[in-house]
Amino acid sequence: MGYGVIIRDDDGFVLRGGGGFIDKRVTVHEVKCIVFERGIELVCQLNIND
């Protein structure tokens, strides 16, 4: 399963992006949860608090 994450500001400017591949079968719900977690990890790396 491949996934991608893009973090944008209020104006749509791309702040950071990333992606990866997980070598197992997962449901659509699991994919959404994984991408949500990766997005939170990226925001934490950028020290965004708003």
- Tokens read off for 13: 């400017």
- In the chain, helix, strand, coil percent, each to 5? 35, 30, 35
Phi, psi of 25 (to 5 degrees): -85, 130
- Interatomic CA distance for residues 19 and 49, integer angstroms: 22
The pLDDT value recorded for residue 33 is 92
The CA R_g of the chain, rounded to the nearest whole Å, is: 12
Tell if the pTM clears 0.75, that is, is over it. Answer: no
Q: What is the pLDDT of residues 1-50, one digit of tens each?
A: 888 888 888 999 998 888 888 888 989 899 889 889 988 888 888 887 66
The pLDDT value recorded for residue 41 is 87
The pLDDT value recorded for residue 11 is 94
- Give the closest residue to 4 by CA, choosing from 12, 16, 47, 27: 16
